[in-house]
Structure 1
Amino acid sequence: MSLFQDIESIEDHRVDANKDYELADIIFLTVAAVLCGANGWKAIKIFGEAQLDWLREYRDFSHGIPTRHSIGRIIRGIKAESLVSSFINFSNAVREKDGKEHISFDGKVVRGSKHTEKDALQLMTAMVVENGLIIYQKETATKKPTKYLSCNQC
């Protein structure tokens, strides 16, 4: 499976009248721009306009690059869980193809760590699924995500 197939599987919640721009095009634009250092909707639009020929090597962009406001509205309308899941699926497909293990992340609250003046201790753990080996653990401010997520960041 390709990254584009995973991105195209993300549910588009916009009404048909507001679909001048393909959701997968906008996601690809945003990811590419952010990876190249863009840090806002305006910067993403500027990147898209400057790199439109390159972007069109991978996606259609039949209506060009939307306004910065449209980019922001479209990206904010995506359910974060579905976007993360598509990247996780792609990452683990690449890991499997290369013969690497799946990595999962899990958030937990440490039982008995809640004190009157402090919040409970919360940990995010990265683990190799196949053998249960914990490869990284970090204290976090929240327990999210609360279910296993697999990723290739480790």
Structure 2
Amino acid sequence: MGSKHDLFLEVSDPRAENARHDFCDMMFIALSAVLCGAESCADMALFGRSKEKFLRQFLDLPYGVPSHDTFSRLFRAIDPVEFSGLLERFCKAFGSALRKGAAGVIAIDGKACRRGYDAGKMHVPPMSVTAWAAGVRLSLGYVAAEHGGEAAAALEVLQLVDIAGATVTADALHCHRTMAGVICEGGADYVLTLKGNQPGLLRDARTELDAKKGRSAAREDRRHSGPVMRRVRVVSAGDMAQKHDFPGLRAIIVLETETGGQTSERLFLASRLFTPREAMHIIRAHWDIENGLHWSLDVTLKEDEARARKDNAPHNLAILRRLALNLARSVKDKNSLRATFKRAAWDDAFLLKLFAQMR
């Protein structure tokens, strides 16, 4: 494993110069603790005390293991914009694997830390937006959505990530001309969900769908609840790009899903005339951010139960969890994420192997 300082040196230490505990030591302990199942700053301190003999093999710890209050103060003070840069630097280390993912789908979506609110502010939990590489299942970038500004945060995260050659997907909140323009300027294609929040676009898209046959494909999947039939149709967007001043708009995609006798329909705007099977792959890949990221954060790492709420702590701990997921997924084996985290807790050599992925 490379020096622990190689991992965190590019993150500024926000504390006073006379702080007792080494910044990189604390960050190493914190990330190690999360990889071993820690859910809070109190868990980080407990992990450090329990693993102190192991940690002293490569950390000096002249003042012992920091307390939970010391960890808490540190994560409240770190600049989350700077800290989130670790995600990008980590992904660059994957080289060809990441480039293969970039040729696929990058999903943009927001998420709330549902219990990270101050007293009396349950309705405004901390929000963030993550860029997710569906092909390699890695978090590429993270931006805090200040004051619930998810749309602005989505535009910001696109500036942090190299999207060239990818297809960027997002839900209806992000279906607007500014988003489309930023994606096109970044050298990427887009598939954006279209709903009633864009009534003019929705009306004209339905007109194009009614007037044109386009190309279509169907696929049936089997689930425990029964078969699910999906039909995709792709038609040209005609002059909608000019009419609505919508950068790059070339196609309309409609996905019809039939299950249990119920049929639903979803519309999407696209910057390329994808084949129906390409369109189906892209739409399904976008859903992976819910299963591959949000579900893993909430079920495996208990993010929705996290109570950190002061200053920058909710966002910095959220970034730490995403970094831990990236590391856990960097080891290609047949174990579940939960099993990977358990193995890291039980096997010190395996924990160090995870850190080696960040060199």
Shared topology, TM-score over 0.5?
yes
Matches within 5 A, 1:99-110: 99-102=96-99, 103=102, 107=108
**Deviation readout 1:111-135 (Å, 9 max, x if unpaired):** xxxxxxxxxxxx965468586132x
Instruction: After superposition, give the CA deviation of every residue in 1:87-113 in whole Å (9 maximum; x if it has no partner).
Output: 421331x212xx3234596759xxxxx
Match of 2:26 in 1: 26
TM-score, normalising length: structure 1: 0.64
Partner of 1:46: 46
Question: Residues 71 and 132 (structure 1 numbering): CA distance in 2 closer, same or farther, change over 3 Å?
Answer: same
Runs of 4+ in structure 1 off by over 4 angstroms are: 102-108, 123-131, 151-154
Instruction: Report the AA paired with residue 101 of structure 1.
Output: L
Structure 1 residues 138 and 34: CA distance shift in structure 2, 3 A:
farther
Structure 2: stretches of 5+ with no match in the other structure: 110-128, 136-161, 175-181, 187-322, 330-359
Question: Corresponding residue for 1:16?
Answer: 17
The structure 2 residue matched to 1:133, chosen from 166, 189, 205, is: 166
The one-letter amino acid of 2:97's match is: K
Structure 1 equivalent of residue 84 of structure 2: 84
Tell me, in whole angstroms, the C-alpha distance in 2 between the residues paired with 1:51 and 1:69.
Answer: 18
Give the Cα–Cα distance (whole angstroms) in 1 for the partners of residues 31 and 106 of structure 2: 22
Change (3 A) 1:20 1:105: farther
Do 2:4 and 2:28's aligned partners in 1 also have CA atoms closer than 8 Å?
A: no
Aligned partner of residue 30 in structure 2, secondary structure: helix
More helix as a share of residues: 2
Quote how far apart the aligned CAs of 1:86 are: 2.3
Q: How far apart are the structure 1 equivalents of 2:30 and 2:50?
A: 13
Q: Give the CA deviation at 1:21.
A: 0.5
Corresponding residue of 2:337: none
Letter matched to residue 39 of structure 1:
E
Once the 2 structures are TM-superposed, how far is the Cα of residue 74 of structure 1 from its aligned partner? 1.0
* Shift in Å, 1:62: 2.2
What letter is aligned with 1:95? F
Question: Against the structure 1 CA distance between its residues 34 and 79, is the aligned structure 2 distance closer, same or farther, given a 3 Å change threshold?
Answer: same
Aligned residues: percent identity? 18
Give structure 1 stretches of 5+ with no counterpart: 109-122
